[in-house]
Amino acid sequence: MAIETLRSAFHSSFFPRRPTLAALTLAVASTAANAELPESFFSGPGLLIVSRSVYDNLSSNVQTGAVLPPGCTSTQAGCPSGNGATSDGTYPYVWNNVLYDPSFGITASIFLDTITPGGEVVHTLEVPNSLHPGRDPDQLVTSFSSKSELALNLSADGRYLTFMGYVAPVNAVDVSNSNTPGANDPTNPDGQAFYRAVARLDREGHISFTETNAYSGNNGRSAILNDASGEGFYYTVGNAGNGSNPQPANVILGAGAQYIAATKAHEAQQAPGMPTPLASFSVTELGAKADKVGKDDNFRGLTVYNNVVYFTKGSGSNGVNTVYFVDTTGAACPSGVGVPAANAKLPANPLAYTAATVQSSGLPDNVCVLAGFPATPNKTATTLAYPFGIWFADANTLYLADEGDGYAGGSDLYTHAAAQTGAGLQKWVYNAGTKSWKLAYTLQSGLNLGTAYTVAGYPAGSNSATGLPWAPATDGLRNITGHVDADGTVTIWAITSTVSGNGDQGADPNRLVAIRDVLRNTTASGATREHFVTLREAGFGEVLRGVSLAPGSVNGKWF
């Protein structure tokens, strides 16, 4: 069946009779089951892409008693105290090793699934990796338990899909906290070095990688290609640093938001230089005492809308958990909070800085808190938000995913998750009169926050290492994307976060969910019928990470 027919079926399923999303799921799944799509088909209008990772469940990946992180004996920090790894590589027990080794993680394969709007898988692409030697000289992996990785974004013109990972083999230990080759931190207890890289994928499934020395000691999380001219460049966000204070200058330079020149050269031909920062924020903009240099820039969600780069911060004890934007005019936020100027343009160059003061004072500030969102530093805030994915339906409507607080402090594990009021999908509306955004309502119905669910093959009962139940429960939402219908109905697809007694909750199988909302609605009373539907459940040893419209889409619209 032609893609146009599939897209037509998707749109007609919504209106005029407004069936439930569950009915839509069945209708689209039935359509996809009969679709005669060529095996080489990867993406196209009317479809979405979901990123996922599958752990290569080998007991030999870790030896019980092994001293971790690799190379820790040669670092200034040394190795963690204790008797070494507590579990071998068997899933899910392997993730209890994070209780001994805070840097613990194991690299895993990346899969990109083309799906229908109802969640039916049309095609799967495995990103080249070391499990298939000789197939492709360029390779990329993710860190299986790192929950903030593998966000998917479309390029500015909608032609390409981008994401981030590591230039490393599958089943390598603690890569996510390693240094990068060009930004060594001797106080990092992880004694390894691996490049991070941005992947670019076109509609035909061709993929290229751009290596970087950014995000040393931590991870790159999200990337967007600005391909206005030539090969273009990437806007990326992530976190850096896994050592002591003060951090080396190159680690600080490689934190937060980055500007990375794109290339299609093979990985072996690349020689990344010093990191090139795009933007930086400091709580001193808000009149607060300075945090650890570079740690206010612990960003994860990323989007571009109306020539403005936006990103979120939702973890860490430094900075502010909130929504930010890059101010290219220099006048949008004299006190650290504001809204983008009407004449704003996308950044076209890296951030200029004074090398001599980077380690002591950090980078110049050109990032603002978006007015209306939290602006109290985490160190003094009485309540915290946990924003993750961000998506604009239009200039006055913003949807924000809140992943929940990840609480695993006791037997109230599930009841605590269920009682959260900010977790889920938040709808924010812009007030032009006050030049500020306001929370309209938070959608939670159907997410079943705090309700434990069964994963086939998972252990029963409680994890002896934590004393808490193995069974995961939804805690909130992470990455999101959306689509606006001509009649003003919005569909949001989202990846869930989890809470459990697992040693690392980022390793729990999670879900892809979807919900429909009326764009013009601004009150909770008008959203009482809104309800999330589960479209897909990750299986044993599997996690879902990112979701995006397929290449061929711009600003939530297919063309």
Q: What is the pLDDT of residue 4?
A: 36
Residue predicted with more confidence, 554 or 122: 122
Give yes or no for residue 415 having a pLDDT over 60.
yes
pLDDT digits (tens, 9 = 90+) for 113-145: 999 999 999 999 999 999 987 778 899 999 999
d(CA 179, CA 194): 7
pLDDT digits (tens, 9 = 90+) for 363-377: 999 999 999 999 999
For the chain, which residues make up each domain, given as ranges? Answer: 47-558
CB distance 352 to 364 below 8 Å: yes
Give yes or no for residue 11 having a pLDDT over 50.
no
Give yes or no for residue 8 having a pLDDT over 60.
no
φ, ψ (nearest 5 deg) of residue 469: -65, 140
Residue among 68, 145, 139, 58 at smallest CA distance from 107: 145
Mean residue pLDDT of the chain comes to 91
Q: What is the pLDDT of residue 14?
A: 35
Q: What is the pLDDT of residue 44?
A: 59
Token pair of 448, please?
């079943």
Beta-carbon count within 10 A of 229 CB: 8
pLDDT digits (tens, 9 = 90+) for 268-326: 999 999 999 999 999 999 999 999 988 999 999 999 999 999 999 999 999 999 999 99
Residue predicted with more confidence, 28 or 548: 548
Residue 27 pLDDT grade (very low, low, confident, very high; cuts 50, 70, 90): very low
Mean pLDDT to the nearest integer, 506-524: 97
Q: What is the pLDDT of residue 203?
A: 83
- Contacts of 447 by beta carbon, 8 Å cutoff, 6+ apart: 423, 424, 474, 476, 477, 496, 513, 532
Q: What is the pLDDT of residue 211?
A: 98
The pTM of the full predicted model, rounded to 2 decimals, is 0.92
Beta-carbon count within 10 A of 257 CB: 26
Q: What is the pLDDT of residue 7?
A: 35
pLDDT digits (tens, 9 = 90+) for 173-190: 999 999 999 999 999 999
